[in-house]
Amino acid sequence: MPALTPSQTIGPFLHIEVPYEGEERLVEPDHPGAIRLLGTLTDGEGDAVDDALVEIWQANAGGRYAHPEDAREEIPLENGFTGFGRCSTDHEGRFEFLTVKPGAVPGPDGRPQAPHIDVSVFARGLLNRLVTRIYFPDEEEANAEDPVLSLIEEEAQRETLIARQDDGALRFDIRLQGEGETTFFVI
Amino acid sequence: MAFELTRNGQVIGYRRDDLEINPPYLYPDYVSTQTRAPKRPLVPMPHTLSEITGPVYGHERIGELDHDLTRQHEGEPVGERIIVHGRLLDGDGRPVRNSLIEIWQANAGGRYRHQGDQHPSPLDPNFSGGGRCMTDDDGHYEFVTIKPGAYPWQNNPNAWRSRHIHLSLFGPAFATRLVTQMFFPGDPLFFQDPIFNSVRDPQARERMICSYDHDRTVEEWALGYRYDIVLRGREATPTED
């Protein structure tokens, strides 16, 4: 079997190729249920990370992934909704997506997972991507039962994965290191 | 195509046993890792439907000349014209088909067309440095470009990056996403490049170096280089129904 190609940092010059124009917009502004999902990326000294790429991957509002391995045909796909977005951070470390809240998807034992969005963070100084998840503040019960959130022992660490309402938008700040450090996963 | 084993929420994950070849998050010789590497241990997560699915890019995003970085402007870029080609494979050696590959790089003088790169080497008006293509049914891809130059960076005194091309790969799932760098054989700068050396296993480091390919070298025109890329393999082969 061929051996895996190792990961390397994305470096500071990713903007030469990625993201493509409009990739932070998964839906149009007039889409029913469109939400602004935004946040700030900071490092261990609290400084803005202004050269990062944030990617999101999610199911549609009905809970179906636009991917051949999600074969649950009883849940319709939405024309034009890929479930993927990417956004580079600006000079203040900010990123912002326009998307919809995903529906629940099945978990490891067939029970539903709480609605969530998978996130990858790439940046200069990250030799491998960091993976985390965004959960929703209006899903307390589902979050309490979620099989992935339940893997995290400390409540304060679970809390880092729950977005909060912020003036009509949904805020998910990402702290790479130090106080309030976001919980990251090995997948 | 549907997979019976994903029907009831039972999924076939991607293998984890070879992930230790990846560089550590904290590698102090690469100074930027010191304030960006998480301090808390990462939480191991089982793969769910969310991780075995992933973005599907189509050919509609790819222009006819996107794979040829030497033909994106009026004139030709300065430098050594090269063809970089190879196959995108999964961990079982099967081709990864119709998958997006993105690249970006410095010009022949080692300068990126980016406001963040102000080192005193000229920009080339005929070179942007970005390209993309889709793999074919055999997992094959090919780019035409110029060999990137080495360049200084301020990581430590007299620090220079080895010549490299950045690559971004998706593969079939969120779990297979990979961003890496491809290096050139025999680069004398390897010994002092902490990004290259952050991959601790010497054999894994070798896998980031392309090889000269005389069969793909085109007479009177361009040197060929071969570079196969291997993404994570599956824990078991999915059964198609």
Q: What is the pLDDT of residue A108?
A: 84
Joined together, the tokens standing for residue B130 give 């970005």
Chain A residues with CB-CB distance to B195 below 8 A: 8-9, 127
Residue-range domain boundaries for chain A? 14-175
Q: In whole angstroms, what is the distance from residue B225 CA to residue B213 CA?
A: 5
**Contact assignment for A105 to B114 by CB distance below 8 Å:** no
CB contact under 8 A, A126 and B25: yes
Among chain A residues, the shortest Cα distance to B102 is held by A17
CA-based nearest residue in chain A for residue B4: A71
Tell me the nearest-neighbour CA distance from B224 into chain A, angstroms: 20
Give domain B4-230's CATH number out of 3.40.50.300, 2.40.128.520, 2.60.130.10, 3.30.160.250. 2.60.130.10
DSSP one-letter string for A20-85 = PTTTTBSS-TTSTT-EEEEEEEE-TTS-B--SEEEEEE---TTS--SSTT---TTSPP-TT--SEE
What number does CATH give the domain A14-175?
A: 2.60.130.10
Each residue's pLDDT tens digit, A11-43: 999 999 999 999 999 999 999 999 999 999 999
pLDDT tens column, A102-161: 999 999 877 899 999 999 999 999 999 999 999 999 999 999 999 999 999 999 999 999
Beta carbons of B53 and A71 less than 8 Å apart: no
Chain A residues touching residue B228 (CB < 8 angstroms): 2
Cβ contact B45–A187 (<8 Å): yes
| Token code pair at residue B116 | 């963040």
- Please report how many Cα atoms fall inside a 13 Å half-sphere around the Cα of residue B79, on the Cβ side: 29
Give me the interface pTM, i.e. the ipTM: 0.98
Active site residue B166: yes
Rounded to the nearest 5°, which phi and psi values hold at B59? -65, -15
- In 3D space, the residue among B145, B198, B226 whose CA is nearest the CA of residue B22 turns out to be B198
Per CB-CB distance under 8 Å, the chain B contacts of A146 are: none
Cα of A165 to nearest chain B Cα, Å: 24
Q: What is the enclosing helix (H) or strand (E) of A157?
A: helix A155-159
For A187, which residue in chain B has the nearest alpha carbon?
Answer: B45
Selected for mutation to probe chain B from A78, A127, A158 (highest B CB count within 10 Å) is A127
pTM (predicted TM-score): 0.96
CA-CA distances (angstroms) from residue B82 to B60, B105, B126, B214, B219?
26, 13, 16, 11, 12
Residues of B in contact with A71 (CB under 8 A): 2-3, 6-7
For A30-86, write each residue's pLDDT tens digit.
999 999 999 999 999 999 999 999 999 999 999 999 999 999 999 999 999 999 999
Residue B237 in this model has a pLDDT that exceeds 90 = no
